Amino acid sequence: MDDRPLLEGVTVLVLASVGPAARAARWLADWGATVVEVGPIPRDRDLQITPPTHAYAAHRGMRRLMVDLQAENGRNAFLRLAAKADVVIESFRPGVVDRLGVGYEAVRVLNPGIVYCSTTGYGQTGPRSSWAGHDLNYLAVGGYLHCSGRDERGGPALPGATVADSAAGGLHAVAAVCAALVARAATGEGVHLDVSVADGVLALMSLAIDEHLAEGVQPGPREGLLTGRYAWYDLYQAGDGGWLAVAAIEPKFFANLCHILGCEQWIDRQYDDDVETMRADFTAAFASRSRDDWVAELAPADACVSPVLDVPGVVADGQYGARGAFVEVTHPTSGRLRQVGAPLARQVDPVVLEIPDWTATATEELLDEVGVAPDTVTAWRAAGVIA
């Protein structure tokens, strides 16, 4: 078996410290890419948010340098690195990198094979392209919030995870970058990728949106099969106060559920119009025993039932433990930490990973690797364009 990291040999420069671009960089680093975060010099530190130490896996496996992209030599430093890189990921608003002189066209002149990924909230074009936003905004305009549950006011509920930043943005960017790298391997040509988080939400919502386009339905909470219209795709509280997720869509799974709950009267009436009576019967059945008792009986019986775990429960969960989902790391000041590990990482034996000291930079080392002379680095540092 080849144990090499999946993206070994791929160098990524990332002009972001938070959000979808940072999430994409995290996954690429976990899959073996050499990732370098290019941040502003200390006097410009307010240009980017500084996340807490534990965020984004504490930058494990990454290196960092600081440059002033508004200074000519700062741009030169970045372009020297980009000339040798495979991927650049940036998260400025449309047009900013071009005004700074570090956009796709400027890099492509030096590196025709560059995969240049611009991640923005709404994309490089369109009437919203200049709008500021965050995860909640993109979930709002893509239909996600409207189709999700309701809060105590009757309005859309706040999501429990940054779905837009993570899936619609970060993984969207990772997929686009990996596809572009495959294409480049065949053609030798790079590409400018326009990754919009709002477009990614649209893709996540495609089942509901395509149904609307085809049949004219108006999806919403409790309106469709996957948003709680039927009792067999819902959440139920057990007798001990814990919650269970039920998703018995296929008839055979629904029949298994009904048999074990003692609700056999519904087996041949899965799509019966009397949904609320079925839901009341299921509610009463689940209330008769604890969550874990129900899970122990229903989950192995092909009834599509699982526990609703809180975060401590997730961390202690045996399935994730068996999958090696968590890793231990050593932080230079915080000591030993436990973190979510790398999906798809080819790691057989548990290891303790070293976390970089993010108060320091690898500027000299990185510039030396792309052939910048030491006296030039010294001059640039003295001029305040790198740090």
The residues annotated as belonging to the active site are 134, 165
First to last CA, the chain: 42
User: Which residues pair with residue 262 across a beta bridge?
Assistant: none
Look at the alpha carbons of 175, 95, 43, 366 in this order and tell me if their dihedral is positive or negative. Answer: positive
Q: Are 344 and 26 in contact (CB under 8 A)?
A: no
Alpha helices in 111-171 (DSSP H): 135-141, 144-147, 163
Longest dimension (CA), the chain: 83
Cα–Cα distance between 168 and 146 in angstroms, integer? 17
Cα–Cα distance between 231 and 233 in angstroms, integer? 6
Cα–Cα distance between 106 and 284 in angstroms, integer? 65
Supply the DSSP symbol for 125: S
- Which strands make up the sheet holding 62-66, listed edge to edge? 62-66, 34-39, 11-15, 87-90, 115-120, 191-196
Cα–Cα distance between 128 and 131 in angstroms, integer? 5
Q: What angle do CA 57, 387, 46 make, to 5 degrees?
A: 65
> Interhelix angle for 172-187 vs 19-30, to 10°?
60
Between β-strands 87-90 and 11-15, what pairing exists: parallel, antiparallel or unpaired? parallel
Q: Rounded to 5 degrees, what are φ and ψ at 99?
A: -65, -30
Judged on CB neighbours under 10 Å (0-12, 13-18, 19+), 21 is buried
Cα–Cα distance between 179 and 144 in angstroms, integer? 26
Q: How many CA atoms lie within 13 A of 312 on its CB side?
A: 0
386 contact partners, CB below 8 Å, separation of at least 6? 41, 65, 66, 67, 68, 73, 74, 77, 363, 367, 377, 380
